[in-house]
Chains A and B, each alone.
Chain A
Amino acid sequence: MNELKASVLMRHEVGLHARPSVKLTKLAKAFKSKIDLGLSPDGPWIDAKSIVKVMATRAPKDSTIYFRAEGTDAKAALDALVMLVDGDFRDGP
């Protein structure tokens, strides 16, 4: 299975904090693929479905978030996650 990657600049004013992290992990869990998150293109990688680990990155405002995904719905997962971060974690339609 191919591994796909994507990255996105996070502009959220308080960074990857509680509310954005809840949304991000919830969205990641909606996909079957294994999804990792990192703050640099080569990791270290953490499980994007774990709020404990996502919060532990302490990602501040203006960080670039890197995703890598592996699985049947990897492409859809990355698209959705990038859209969430790019859209400043606003509630979707």
Chain B
Amino acid sequence: MDHRTQRAANRVEGRSAAPGIALGPLLRLITVKPEMRHSRSAAGDQKALADALEASRLDLVGLAGKVEDEDAEAILSFQIALLEDENLAAPAFERIADGEVASKAWVAAIDPEIASYDQADDAYFRARASDLRDLRDRVLRRLAGEVDQAVPSGVIVVAEDIPPSVFLATDWRDGGLALRRGSPSSHVAILARSRGVPMIVGVDIDQLESGTDAVLDGDAGALIVDPDPGLRADYDRRLTEQTEAREAASAFSGPVLTANGEPVRLMINVTGLAELRDMDSSKVDGIGLMRTEFLFQEHEQPPTEEEQYQIYRQMAEWAAGKPVTIRTLDAGGDKPIAGLTEPGDVNPFLGVRGVRLSLRRLDVFRLQLRALARAAVAGNLKVMIPMVTVPGELDRCRVLFQDVVDELRGEGQAAGMPPLGMMVEVPAAALTVEDFNADFYSIGSNDLIQYVMAASRDEPQLADLARPSRAVFNLIGHVVEHANGSGREVSLCGDLAGDPQQLASLLDQGLRSFSVAPGALGPVRAAIARYSGKAA
């Protein structure tokens, strides 16, 4: 038997988004993209409704396969038949074309049907109204991006894309994630690396069926469906090694040193308190990047000042005196937030994002600054501003910050002015870094690379361009030189820092402070320990 041919036939290629190996049955998950909910275009809303209808149909088919009760089965097959009938949703699609949002259009289409059943003379017909109501609500839940399927641990989840809320609600022990959409720099990928969940993106998921055994190779960026026993045994071995390496890395503590004994500061990137729950602050040098976008993305309403304050304060307390660097809202770009970012932005990465948005939404920005000023008295808090391009932007932030501190003190509240730093991710800022009145610098390598290389990190065809080049390293070197010369701290918090292979180049530039995903701590620590100075 030709072992190799079979191996090739079962391999589905993708791109690595988070390293590691997972073995287990596939589970197809149908979710509606959260951005779709806020789509302002008719085509986007029609797609959202079509997706929600299909997701609901698959939910029902899944349920019908499980029930044994004949009546329940009859109701489910009636609902499935309704969803398979284009006549049901046709009025909704027409309404969307006329400008109605998907959820309202769907309700307007199905409610007259429900009413006609309610008014039937025959009790049996009247009873069907509740089946339609149930169907209406199921589709609405789907439109809102909610997931019905429970995800057991130890499965490889296969989906178009999943929202961060679903990722965070899932128990990923021994599991993995394969997505058609998404990118290695999406927020779900950030979370996956943080939690050590193997993940690949760009996967053709059409032929993948729930229940099939598979191996997800997050290192190679591939999914192997129905692996033969030999291959399975190989991966079983690698999985054991991976588990042992992780346990060893998490057991390790103490200062991070290069091979020459030079200390390096190693911090973590987080998106919320959930990631700190199982972390011991004694094992890291603090939080180098707290991405506050999640606090805004996960909820219908922006978080209140009090909610933000509680989160920032608890982080500072967790760190017990070590620095906690909080980045103000970096919405826009690949992180749209309903009601905040501009839906019509034709080129979001070059548009109103980061500090550009904050300075235009002072209501939201001031609230965040107030929460930060209050939390600043609870620990070693630092605040950094994203997407700063010209010195005036940072100056305005400083004035605003001082304003809210005075305001809070006037109200009799304890408040402090924390060190105010900037993300260095726009080439203009990197080139003229000496012009900025920043207390510290944090190099955001993800955006810096794509802006320097003029290549999107989400475009698979440009993967060779959207990489750290000499141009990128020269710019990083320039920033580090200025920071060291002027006695300011500088660190790097992009994915580049979490890549052990790039670490030597960054150390060569003089960087001695990094912030990485918690899942990368072990390998990065090991890579630093191997570094013995700039190669001659």
Contact = CB atoms under 8 A, between A and B. Distances in A.
Contact of A22 (B78, B113, B120, B125): B78
A56 B85 contact: no
A75 interface: no
Interface in A52-75: 52-53, 55-56, 58, 60
9 contacts: A18-B74, A18-B78, A19-B74, A19-B77, A22-B74, A51-B82, A52-B88, A53-B87, A58-B120
Contact of B122 (A15, A19, A49, A51): A15
Interface in B69-121: 74-75, 77-78, 81-82, 84-88, 113, 116, 120
Output the residue of B75, B86, B113, B124 with the most chain A CB within 10 A: B124
A51 B74 contact: no
A56 B120 CA distance: 10
Contact of B124 (A17, A25, A47, A56): A17
Contacts of A14: 124
Interface string A1-21: 000000000000011011101
B521 to A, nearest CB: 56
Given A25-B85, A52-B85, A56-B116, A19 B124 contact: no
B128 interface: yes
B171 interface: no
B81 A51 contact: yes
Contacts of B85: 25, 49-52
A90 to B, nearest CB: 14
B7 to A, nearest CB: 40
7 closest A-B pairs by beta carbon, nearest first, are A18-B78, A52-B87, A51-B81, A50-B87, A22-B81, A19-B74, A51-B85
A77 B320 CA distance: 77
Contacts of A55: 125, 128
Contact of B131 (A18, A21, A49): A18
Interface of B: 74-75, 77-78, 81-82, 84-88, 113, 116, 120, 122, 124-125, 128, 131
Range, interface on chain A: 10 to 19
Nearest to B121: A58
B87 A18 contact: no
Given A17-B125, A18-B78, 15 more contacts: A17-B128, A18-B74, A19-B78, A21-B78, A21-B81, A22-B77, A22-B78, A25-B85, A47-B87, A49-B85, A50-B87, A51-B78, A51-B85, A52-B85, A60-B122
A14 B75 CA distance: 15
Contacts of A51: 78, 81-82, 84-85
B307 to A, nearest CB: 45
A20 B77 CA distance: 11
A26 interface: yes
A18 B122 contact: no
Contacts of B124: 14-15, 17
B122 to A, nearest CB: 7
A22 to B, nearest CB: 5
B128 A18 contact: yes
A17 B129 CA distance: 12
Contacts of A25: 81, 85
Contacts of A52: 82, 85, 87-88, 113
B136 to A, nearest CB: 13
Nearest to B88: A52
Contacts of B125: 17, 55, 58
B530 to A, nearest CB: 65
Contacts of A49: 85
A14 to B, nearest CB: 5
A23 to B, nearest CB: 9
A58 B74 contact: no
B124 to A, nearest CB: 5
B475 to A, nearest CB: 61
Contacts of B116: 56
Nearest to B120: A58
A50 B125 CA distance: 17
Interface string A22-44: 10011000000000000000000
A45 to B, nearest CB: 14
Output the residue of B74, B78, B88, B116 with the most chain A CB within 10 A: B78
Contacts of A15: 122, 124
A26 to B, nearest CB: 7
A26 B74 CA distance: 14
A85 B493 CA distance: 69
A15 B77 CA distance: 18
A53 B113 CA distance: 10
Nearest to A55: B128
A85 B115 CA distance: 28
Contacts of B78: 18-19, 21-22, 51
